[in-house]
Amino acid sequence: MKHKFFIILTLLSLQVTASFSQRTSSFTERELEIIGNGAEDSMFRILQTTDPVDSLILRMSSSDILNPDSIAEDEALQLLISRLRITMDQAGGVGIAAPQVGVLKNVFLFMRVDLPESPVQVVINPRIISHATETICFERDGCLSIPNKSGNSERYPWIDVEFWDEKGEFHREHLEGFSRRGNFAAIIFQHEWDHLHGVLYIDKECLLKEELWN
Ligand SMILES: [Zn+2]
């Protein structure tokens, strides 16, 4: 009898915990485990297309962070952002998306090569609200999840975007630039945005004009 009562109590408390975490966090238990498996200054493991399980996760779609109003107070989200920043820096990338570390949420970081000193921009729940009608073939795209490879990718030369940053501030911006030697902020944004939809640059490979004539 005592045993039965204990089981019922345990089940009840499990249910309460489950509904509590659903209400307060955008993240699944597995995602919270990944985010919390290291300190804020420790790197994540970056998923690789060469690994069969990783490559399936990289093809999945992500979902929005709930309640953009409480972004600044969301401890798990802030830890995710700190660790993504370290991971991108250590790996020498110009951008990284949360799904690349196994967290299927609409969050990415990218280097603002269009601004002085190229600060890292945190992007949460992004939308591309408008883009150029024509596309260009961007030279030598690369990805931290695709080892030892680069290729040209078809991209829009400019995009208008909306997103929240890590302080919970809303941004509406016009991004442009597709020169690898100068500004290519619009390209990095599109590359990272694609990750949120399970799309990789190898899906968008294109030929440069000079290659077409050869
Ligand atoms: Zn990538």
Phi and psi torsions of 147, nearest 5°: -70, 145
**Residue pLDDT, tens place only, 132-150:** 999 999 999 999 999 999 9
Q: What's the confidence (pLDDT) of residue 210? A: 74
In a domain, 62, yes or no: yes
What domain range is 190 assigned to? 28-213
Q: Which of 10-19, 60-69, 136-145, 200-209 has the lowest mean pLDDT?
A: 10-19
Whether 75 is catalytic is no
Residues 53 and 4: their CA atoms lie apart, in Å, by 40
How big is the chain by its Cα radius of gyration, in Å?
20
Quick check: 191 and 141 in contact, CB under 8 A?
A: yes
Q: In this model, does residue 17 exceed pLDDT 50?
A: no
Total domains in the chain come to: 1
Q: Cα of 199 to ligand 1 centre, how many Å? A: 9
Residues 135 and 150: their CA atoms lie apart, in Å, by 19
- Catalytic site residue from 31, 169, 192, 205: 192
In a domain, 13, yes or no: no
∠ CA(191), CA(150), CA(154), 5° rounding? 45
In a domain, 49, yes or no: yes
Phi and psi torsions of 139, nearest 5°: -80, 135
In a domain, 18, yes or no: no
Q: Which of 3-17, 46-60, 170-184, 192-206 has the lowest mean pLDDT?
A: 3-17
Q: Cα of 67 to ligand 1 centre, how many Å? A: 26
Q: In this model, does residue 96 exceed pLDDT 60?
A: yes
pLDDT-based confidence at 178, cuts 50/70/90?
A: confident
Instruction: Give the CATH number, domain containing residue 208.
Output: 3.90.45.10
